[in-house]
Chains A and B, each alone.
Chain A
């Protein structure tokens, strides 16, 4: 498994959805700024990203990404995601590189399947370790 595939960030000082995207975008440390917010918005207009109470799972597939990554972000304080989703405690953002290999896709699928397990979600909400066990 790629070391940087899953990135856990605790107590992130963000206040909104926009700040969240900005934060991840900065984390990508790309020379060119990637407009995650713009890519994401389109998808979110078409369906809700809320997967459980206080948890959102925004995800996108794009050619501008160099690498597929999953960001697990816990804001300092619960944030409002949009007009429908309030008090978000956990953001799981899947960034999928276009034409990604099946192997990596499988790796990510395995992770998302785990999100159906409440115990795993609880673990992600509660853990204090930035090195998560997946």
Chain B
């Protein structure tokens, strides 16, 4: 049932990204299903869609999405929440049990709103117990009550991921969102705290990290309201060692965490332990912050790890990545990512499906490189959400900086050394698109015949002024020539 829904969703998502028609072969290969299944799925989707056909078909051309209907339908789905699907029901029950853990909840009360049979409840318990295994948590049933037992940290982690699954995109939406079970005052208070942190540090905490920090604080408050203070034993242990190594750059984050936890202590009228400061601090340093001054110095690990990604990806994607700005941008992402991995903080990537579909090849390479990175740096497995974020960085590198450089190669005749050079250059410099090889006497017509040419690689020296960059090389295409060409390419990229 679930995989069927996923297929249908992916199919719709794929069609929504294609402007024209898509053939059934293409759909089948994209979704890794047979063509027959494609036909069936499209039939299912169209039959279950209330307002006529959602996917239009045309003989010989394939399928196309009725985009207007698709957008309207998506809006309707998000609005309709009064009736829960089995998955939603289970999720909500689990969330409530987690928030009250280790307290036991009466089954009748727990299921009062759902009007389901005992068999359904029994089934739900199996599902929930199975899902909890991933967090090392246990579902305990005693007479007519159920409870969840386990480490505090694991409980919070499970709630975090559950909240993240709700696909909240804008924290400010939380203020008015009635679908979520959130306490309105707490929501406002936390949003205010996040704003204070941002102001104090003169930074912006971007999506999805703002949601992540919000969830973290919301869960902390909920837990204290429902079951009182629970210590996170593992973070207690880390306290001392972490305090000793707070990096100078992060001093501000640490004091912001301290202030926030103090505020929360007053708000909740409890004395929150120091481990909560550490936990929040870890969250903050696991988030990418936007500020006027981006950090330009990194630890050796961050530098090496970033370089490894850049090197491996440039090899695999066959592109040259040699730009300080790209390095800085990625390192600014890797730094908090490393903290997330170390502290077991997961950020949901709500665009993951779309990323996997749109940048399939890049995503697959990132997954491979991530495996290597985990191994080399002895890190926990880098999950698909993280790989999705990383994929976007490389997709952007390709789309913005690495458009091929339109190049013409010139020699006396256009058939001699230039042809020879063409072969040599093509082998070494995939970032050049060699549009043609020409004879020297055609130099003047270049702009006219080949619009958008950015570079002429020539074996003859010439005096004429041309409106593009030129590079004189020897027919041998020596190491020196290669280096100078590399430099020229960098120059062109930088000027773009």
A residues near B (Cβ < 8 Å) are: 43, 46-52, 57, 59-61, 94, 96, 105, 108-109, 112-113, 115-116
- Whether A113 and B423, one on each chain, are in contact in the complex, defined by CB atoms closer than 8 angstroms, is yes
- CB neighbours (8 Å) of A47 from chain B are 411, 417, 458-461, 472, 474-475
What are 26 inter-chain pairs, A to B, with CB distance below 8 A? A43-B460, A46-B461, A47-B472, A47-B474, A48-B475, A50-B474, A50-B476, A51-B475, A52-B476, A57-B475, A59-B411, A59-B413, A59-B416, A61-B412, A61-B414, A94-B413, A94-B416, A96-B416, A105-B414, A108-B415, A108-B416, A109-B415, A109-B419, A109-B437, A112-B417, A115-B420
Known A-B contacts: A96-B415, A109-B419. Give 4 more (CB < 8 A): A46-B461, A49-B475, A61-B439, A96-B416
Q: What 10 A-B pairs have minimum CB-CB distances, sorted nearest first?
A: A59-B416, A116-B423, A112-B419, A46-B460, A61-B413, A51-B475, A108-B415, A47-B459, A109-B419, A96-B413
- Whether B420 and A112, one on each chain, are in contact in the complex, defined by CB atoms closer than 8 angstroms, is yes
CA distance A109 to B461 in the complex (A): 22
CA distance A105 to B441 in the complex (A): 15
In the complex where A46-B460, A46-B462, A61-B439 touch, is A51 in contact with B413 (Cβ < 8 A)? no
Q: Is B422 in contact with chain A by the CB < 8 A criterion?
A: yes
- CB neighbours (8 Å) of A94 from chain B are 413, 415-416
Q: Is B342 in contact with chain A by the CB < 8 A criterion?
A: no
CA distance A108 to B416 in the complex (A): 8
Chain A minimum-CB-distance residue to B462: A46
Chain A minimum-CB-distance residue to B459: A47
- CB neighbours (8 Å) of B458 from chain A are 47
Most A C-beta atoms less than 10 A away, residue of B411, B413, B427, B437: B413
1/0 per residue, CB under 8 A from A, across B446-463: the answer is 000000000000111110
- Whether A112 and B460, one on each chain, are in contact in the complex, defined by CB atoms closer than 8 angstroms, is no
CA distance A52 to B412 in the complex (A): 18
CA distance A52 to B459 in the complex (A): 14
The interface size bin for chain B is 20 to 34
Q: Is B240 in contact with chain A by the CB < 8 A criterion?
A: no
CA distance A48 to B461 in the complex (A): 10
Chain A minimum-CB-distance residue to B441: A61
Whole-angstrom distance between the Cβ of B485 and the nearest chain A Cβ: 15
CA distance A47 to B475 in the complex (A): 8
Chain B minimum-CB-distance residue to A117: B423
- CB neighbours (8 Å) of A116 from chain B are 420, 423-424, 427
CA distance A105 to B414 in the complex (A): 9
Most A C-beta atoms less than 10 A away, residue of B411, B415, B437, B462: B415
1/0 per residue, CB under 8 A from A, across B396-410: the answer is 000000000000000
- CB neighbours (8 Å) of A108 from chain B are 415-416, 419
- Whether A113 and B462, one on each chain, are in contact in the complex, defined by CB atoms closer than 8 angstroms, is no
Whole-angstrom distance between the Cβ of A103 and the nearest chain B Cβ: 12
- CB neighbours (8 Å) of A46 from chain B are 460-462
Most A C-beta atoms less than 10 A away, residue of B419, B441, B461: B419
- Whether B420 and A51, one on each chain, are in contact in the complex, defined by CB atoms closer than 8 angstroms, is yes
CA distance A23 to B273 in the complex (A): 96
- CB neighbours (8 Å) of A109 from chain B are 415, 419, 437
Chain B minimum-CB-distance residue to A53: B476
> Which of A52, A61, A113 is close to B422, meaning CB atoms less than 8 Å apart?
A113
CA distance A50 to B423 in the complex (A): 16
CA distance A60 to B441 in the complex (A): 11
- CB neighbours (8 Å) of B423 from chain A are 113, 116
- Whether B417 and A59, one on each chain, are in contact in the complex, defined by CB atoms closer than 8 angstroms, is yes
CA distance A51 to B424 in the complex (A): 11
> Which of A48, A52, A113 is close to B419, meaning CB atoms less than 8 Å apart?
A113
Chain A minimum-CB-distance residue to B411: A59
Chain B minimum-CB-distance residue to A94: B416
- CB neighbours (8 Å) of B427 from chain A are 116
Whole-angstrom distance between the Cβ of B423 and the nearest chain A Cβ: 4
CA distance A61 to B416 in the complex (A): 10
Chain A minimum-CB-distance residue to B422: A113
CA distance A61 to B417 in the complex (A): 13
Whole-angstrom distance between the Cβ of A36 and the nearest chain B Cβ: 13
CA distance A115 to B414 in the complex (A): 15
CA distance A51 to B423 in the complex (A): 13
1/0 per residue, CB under 8 A from A, across B412-436: the answer is 1111110110111001000000000
- Whether A48 and B415, one on each chain, are in contact in the complex, defined by CB atoms closer than 8 angstroms, is no
Whole-angstrom distance between the Cβ of A13 and the nearest chain B Cβ: 26
> Which of B414, B415, B460, B476 is close to A51, meaning CB atoms less than 8 Å apart?
B476
CA distance A96 to B419 in the complex (A): 14
- Whether A57 and B414, one on each chain, are in contact in the complex, defined by CB atoms closer than 8 angstroms, is no
- Whether A48 and B420, one on each chain, are in contact in the complex, defined by CB atoms closer than 8 angstroms, is no
Whole-angstrom distance between the Cβ of A105 and the nearest chain B Cβ: 5
- CB neighbours (8 Å) of B420 from chain A are 51, 57, 112-113, 115-116
- Whether A112 and B476, one on each chain, are in contact in the complex, defined by CB atoms closer than 8 angstroms, is no
CA distance A61 to B411 in the complex (A): 11
Whole-angstrom distance between the Cβ of A102 and the nearest chain B Cβ: 11
Whole-angstrom distance between the Cβ of A116 and the nearest chain B Cβ: 4
1/0 per residue, CB under 8 A from A, across B260-304: the answer is 000000000000000000000000000000000000000000000
Whole-angstrom distance between the Cβ of A99 and the nearest chain B Cβ: 11
Chain B minimum-CB-distance residue to A40: B412
> Which of A57, A96, A105 is close to B417, meaning CB atoms less than 8 Å apart?
A57
> Which of B437, B441, B462, B474 is close to A48, meaning CB atoms less than 8 Å apart?
B474
